[in-house]
Structure 1
Amino acid sequence: MRLRSCSKPLAAVACLVLTASAAAQQTPLRTLLVGADRRPAQSLDGDWHYLVEQPPARELYDSQGKIRDTGYALNTHPNISSGPHNSEYDFSTAPTLKVPGDWNTQDPTLLRFEGVVWYQRDFDYTPQPGQRTFLHIGAANYRSVFWVNGKRLCEHEGGFTPFDCDATALLHPGSNFVVAAVDSTRHQDDIPSLLYDFYDYGGLTRDVSLITVPTEFIDDYRVQLQHGASFAPGSAAARTVAGYVHVEGAAAGTKVNIRIPEAGVDATATTDGNGQASFQAEAKRLDLWSTTNPKLYAVQISAGADHVADQIGFRDVRVDGTRILLNGKPIALLGANMHAEAPVRGGRAYSDADMQNIVKMLHAINANFVRLCHYPHDERMTRATDAAGILAWSEIPLWQRITFSSPEVYAKAVTMLHEMIRRDQNKASVIFWSVSNETPNNADRTRFLTNLANEARHTDSTRLITSALIGPRVSEDRIVQDDPLMPALDVVGQNEYIGWYEGTAEDADRKTWVLPQKPFIMSEFGAEATPGNHGGAHDRWTEEQQVNVLQHQFAMIRRIPQMRGTTPWVLMDFRSSTRNIPKLQNGYNRKGLFSETMQPKQSVELVRKTYTENPPVKAE
């Protein structure tokens, strides 16, 4: 995959073209509608027929690995009495899967399946004159191809970000059908790569819908508190809202209106030759979003016949020495890591109920922060953190065994970064863009991630750039973190597992950390505890040992002056195909403070009490 240069911000996500090897099969370009979840839509969620294709997936790929547009994609039906033979398939009589949802937890025979599953759904459609209709896909893991009425519409690589495909030309009045092929097979040059410690949930894991917009439509907007060189509460900067609106297909001079009635903002701007309108307006009154006052404002954007309504909070985040400042005041980040795993029912998290259960667990430990690892979570999650006043770290899945020497892999990473930023750039709770987790310290990796961090900063200068590091130099009890990636980061995440993967819990008492003068977050630490398994403080896999490890970790963290945040690994037990100790793990990483059914372990009370009465990090 390569990117074609475009003129408007983040337009790379709308300008994907195929490699030369696939030039003969070019499909319409994709876009990404900011605020898609706030637009009226025709939902295609629900029951989709599905067929499983075992490797080598000959219905999806030809002998050269190119995508086929025949066979299953055509959605023909077998004629059992006469006529031409189809490819021996029939969606109409096939079983169904729920969309959104992963296939692994819906069909017991697919629990460990990694490969191609085909989806099909019929739907009715009524065209509207002067309108364009997009097929919106919240996420499909990992590679996906979509056909509408037998014609290829678009394809996408990456399992955790949304995309929108212009289906206008392929739709017709009345009955239509969509076919999707989703391939979760892992490859070395994928992001993430071959081996990772979380479950490879395949399928249409987030919402699918049809979104209809005018011919000239708002596809991108950024509405934020103005981010200048300095910030002081009560100043004009603390009341100035700024950003841009992009109107696809608009002529220069098109009028754009941005209204925030409750804040007294009614601004007008006009598009330039690229369809972009920049604006700046001082609010008459503006309560800043914070963890104690998660104020969201109704924002109305209109251009011509199109309009979008959103809920946006306004805040300022920046670094001052080793401090993290929220609205000009230093803040300590107290939270936990969380995978996009559905509490109780299991599988990929996608519903409002899933997000509320996650927020409930965060509230139970008195958290004001969550690391959404190791990939962008459902947009409902960042909407939930906005509403709950919980700060968030969002990450793309560059995890360990990435081919950092490959320009093609870097291009994929840039695309995923842009898609993550573009979707959540108006979420007040998201204060960190993370470019990676636990990557090896070598020249290729450092160059790759430094460039990516700079790309993130150039794309969105209003947030902080971070990464979770491993591998400090250890000399007896002296730990020196000198990773050459750190100069590219605003805030550094540090993963370590003293007391579990190395040494004993008490070893943490003797450790001295030597760190640069930057804000740090102890981004991973902890121990596994099988729910309900009890014993002594040094008995492996017990809730008591988990508590002991965390106690000594918190004591060690208090002695590190640069530490500004803690996120124990992990809020809730999650499924992983690499965790195969029967009776103790049963396919789950057991480092959760809660079990996968939200059963609190003893560590929940420890973390809650620690965060409430004696936090392990200070704001300054």
Structure 2
Amino acid sequence: MGERHLDEVKSAHQSTAADASRFCDDEAYPRPQLRRTHWQSLDGPWRFTFDDEKRYSHPGEIEQWPLRIEVPYPIESKASGIGDRGFHKACWYQREFDVEATGASRVILHFGAVDYFAKVWVNGHFVTSHEGGHTPFQCDITDVLNSSGPQVLSVYVEDDPQELNKPRGKQDWQLEPHSIWYPRTTGIWQTVWIERVARTYVQKIRWTPHVEGFALTFEARVIGERVDGLSMEVQIRHKDRLLADDRYMIIDGEVDRRIILSDPGIDDFRNEILWSPEKPQLLDATIRLKRGDEVLDEIQSYTALRSVGVLRDRFMLNGRPYQLKLVLDQGYWPDTLLAAPDDAALRRDVELAKAMGFNGVRKHQKIENPRYLYWADRLGLLVWEEMPSAYRFTRTAIKRIVKEWGEAIERDFSHPCVITWVPFNESWGVPELTSVGAHQNAVAALYHLTKTLDPTRPVIGNDGWESSDTDIIGIHDYDANIEHLRQRYGPEVSTEQLFDRRRPGGKVLTLDGYPHRGQPVMLTEFGGIAFDTRPRKASDVDGDTAEIWGYSVAEAADEFARRFHELIEAVTYTALFSGYCYTQFADTFQEANGLLTEDRVPKIPIEQIRKAVGMSRTHIQGAA
């Protein structure tokens, strides 16, 4: 059965994959929207040692490195070669690498993500530190490189497995995963890499689309040695058509310009060039930093014309109402945990979501690898980005969330696939929202901070229940009874009744003083049907000791297919909802409520899933 289903997957997304094949980046550049030619991955085997007692303060103090680890896989993962899921507070990494030190260029060291606190040395010299387990950091290591011979890179990581006042997402604080919590992620879990740049170079860029004006705002920051007379060339193309070829002077190390794209005045062209899941049209960009005619830095990038927002009770894409059909994606793999096995695995997850008929994913409690966003941009998949939660409310926790959330928004702002920001989920980390002003203020602060850092996208202050400041009201409801859902959200229920009632867990949908103001209402978690396809019986899922976990259980494939179809039909038919997010994409350890197994094999024929997800209100009402 598994091979047949896999054949259906291949058939379902064959055309999408073919369309994207010309964009395939075999080298899997880690920062897809600011690409250079000269870079080198430092992934692979590293020396490794635990330091639970924190005996060492400098890599030179370590006499023996008893273990080897495969970077970038967490120490808890099988793929790392360590596979130790015990409690470890600290560890060290070390490896050699070769790079030529020259006076004509700089060498930048990059880390995609290290959980949770990292300190870095090169050739025994301390070069940088970073706090936050889900966002990138980098530093210039040129001045500490040896003039010849190998360079030595050492990394110290501190990650207390039981500390609850740091953003940790779904990482369990107990020794063994239980309920909806999964194995911990410690240490390096995204690519480590170096790149060579000019002594004056482009540090960052940002794209902001303006569909209504057929324009883009382009921002760039230039750092390094001060050079007079700098300019920047920006060329933008859609396939073979040149849309812009501009040149700007660099003022105070920055460029901030609105680029009006060449418009032939044909409506069909305007419609054709817009980005959507159905037509993921990207605009390729070449950016050159110049001094006179000399090119100091050249980078490749891409962007897209697309707009997102809300209008009354509907989500809007490119100025038109758009029904969101999302699936909850935890972003774990059995052998590599939070880290992807490789770039192909990230691409395959995007293809599978589309093959099942969904137009987007809600990345749950994870800031996903930028390469996933790259494939979502290329292949056409919407992404809700959600901040991993802390599980205690403290000043330290809020400060850490604010810092890391700001870094995540900065990293992913330019990706057209990202359409919504979610700083809090189900009141995690702010458990007393109904009664404690500081908790309410935290949600309000993160909502308004997010709107300040990015005024172009909707923000959900707290997804699930107890909404206050929010652009969309997200409801989580795992009631397995279809009639209950119809009665609860059907047309005979007034808005006042809906928002006065309590929901699962005894939670209210909106806080006092925050009545429904006409925002879109979406069922952003539902389903959760556990169906275990492994060769053993699915036992009772109540309690943390059960073999599998889910919100309800299906014993056979036909029952699972029928219940899934009925749930999707009921939610699609409910006019109240302008979108939904089904739980979930794939099985994740003991949580066996995925449409796919943890190895990404469909549990029922993918055509059945796609047929259910593809239903529209018009189709259902016409059939009725």
User: Could you say whether these structures have the same fold, taking a TM-score greater than 0.5 normalized by the shorter chain as the test?
Assistant: yes
Give the counterpart letter for 2:377 in structure 1. D
What is the 5 A alignment of 1:328-407?
A: 328-342=319-333, 348-349=339-340, 351-398=342-389, 401-403=391-393, 405-406=394-395
Partner of 1:435: 423
Provide the C-alpha distance between the structure 2 equivalents of 1:592 and 1:211, rounded to a whole number of angstroms: 39
Provide the C-alpha distance between the structure 1 equivalents of 2:320 and 2:192, rounded to a whole number of angstroms: 41
Cα distance, 1:49 vs structure 2: 1.1
Partner of 1:521: 522
Asked if 1:199 corresponds to 2:183, the answer is yes
**Unaligned segments of structure 1, at least 5 residues:** 1-31, 60-67, 75-85, 232-236, 472-482, 576-587
Partner of 1:14: none
Provide the C-alpha distance between the structure 2 equivalents of 1:422 and 1:43, rounded to a whole number of angstroms: 23
Partner of 2:246: 267
Give the counterpart letter for 2:473 in structure 1. V
Provide the C-alpha distance between the structure 1 equivalents of 2:337 and 2:539, rounded to a whole number of angstroms: 30
Provide the C-alpha distance between the structure 2 equivalents of 1:547 and 1:114, rounded to a whole number of angstroms: 42
CA distances 1:472-511 after superposition (whole Å, capped 9, x unpaired): xxxxxxxxxxx352xx322233222213xxxx55533432
Task: Say whether the 8 Å CA contact 1:558–1:617 is kept in structure 2.
Answer: no
Partner of 1:255: 231
Name which of 277, 287, 291 aligns with 1:301. Answer: 287
What is the 5 A alignment of 1:125-524?
A: 125-174=99-148, 175-186=150-161, 187-192=163-168, 195=173, 197-226=181-210, 231=212, 237=213, 239-249=214-224, 254-261=230-237, 262-273=241-252, 275-285=253-263, 287-304=273-290, 305-342=296-333, 348-349=339-340, 351-398=342-389, 401-403=391-393, 405-406=394-395, 408-439=396-427, 440=431, 441-442=433-434, 443-467=437-461, 469-471=463-465, 483-485=466-468, 488-499=469-480, 504=481, 506-512=483-489, 514=498, 516=516, 517-524=518-525
The 10-residue stretch of structure 1 (96-105 or 609-618) with the greater mean CA deviation from structure 2: 609-618
Provide the C-alpha distance between the structure 2 equivalents of 1:347 and 1:289, rounded to a whole number of angstroms: 29
Name which of 580, 597, 600 aligns with 1:598. Answer: 600
SS in 2 for 1:308: strand
Task: Say whether the 8 Å CA contact 1:34–1:422 is kept in structure 2.
Answer: no
Task: Say whether the 8 Å CA contact 1:508–1:552 is kept in structure 2.
Answer: no
Partner of 2:45: 47
SS in 2 for 1:284: coil
Provide the C-alpha distance between the structure 1 equivalents of 2:147 and 2:325, rounded to a whole number of angstroms: 53
Cα distance, 1:378 vs structure 2: 0.5
Distance 1:158 1:143, change over 3 A: same
Cα distance, 1:102 vs structure 2: 1.6
Task: Say whether the 8 Å CA contact 2:377–2:416 is kept in structure 1.
Answer: yes
Provide the C-alpha distance between the structure 2 equivalents of 1:307 and 1:402, rounded to a whole number of angstroms: 45
What is the 5 A alignment of 1:1-20?
A: none
Provide the C-alpha distance between the structure 2 equivalents of 1:507 and 1:326, rounded to a whole number of angstroms: 31
SS in 2 for 1:134: strand
Provide the C-alpha distance between the structure 1 equivalents of 2:474 and 2:555, rounded to a whole number of angstroms: 27
CA distances 1:413-432 after superposition (whole Å, capped 9, x unpaired): 22212221222222111111
Calculate the TM-score normalised by the size of structure 2: 0.76
Task: Say whether the 8 Å CA contact 2:422–2:463 is kept in structure 1.
Answer: no
Calculate the TM-score normalised by the size of structure 1: 0.77
Provide the C-alpha distance between the structure 1 equivalents of 2:50 and 2:143, rounded to a whole number of angstroms: 29
Distance 1:108 1:343, change over 3 A: closer
Give the counterpart letter for 2:183 in structure 1. Y
Task: Say whether the 8 Å CA contact 1:527–1:591 is kept in structure 2.
Answer: yes
CA-based RMSD of the aligned residues comes to: 3.0
Provide the C-alpha distance between the structure 1 equivalents of 2:581 and 2:285, rounded to a whole number of angstroms: 33
Provide the C-alpha distance between the structure 1 equivalents of 2:440 and 2:324, rounded to a whole number of angstroms: 27
**Unaligned segments of structure 2, at least 5 residues:** 1-29, 174-179, 264-269, 291-295, 500-515, 541-550
Cα distance, 1:380 vs structure 2: 0.7
Name which of 596, 601, 614 aligns with 1:612. Answer: 614
Distance 1:546 1:199, change over 3 A: farther
Provide the C-alpha distance between the structure 1 equivalents of 2:552 and 2:601, rounded to a whole number of angstroms: 21
Distance 1:412 1:109, change over 3 A: closer
The number of equivalent residue pairs is 519
Give the counterpart letter for 1:98 in structure 2. E
Name which of 543, 546, 555 aligns with 1:542. Answer: 555
Provide the C-alpha distance between the structure 2 equivalents of 1:108 and 1:542, rounded to a whole number of angstroms: 36
Give the counterpart letter for 2:485 in structure 1. A
Asked if 1:565 corresponds to 2:579, the answer is yes
Provide the C-alpha distance between the structure 2 equivalents of 1:341 and 1:361, rounded to a whole number of angstroms: 15
Task: Say whether the 8 Å CA contact 1:34–1:221 is kept in structure 2.
Answer: no
Distance 1:312 1:608, change over 3 A: same
SS in 2 for 1:508: helix
Cα distance, 1:615 vs structure 2: 6.0
Distance 1:605 1:616, change over 3 A: farther
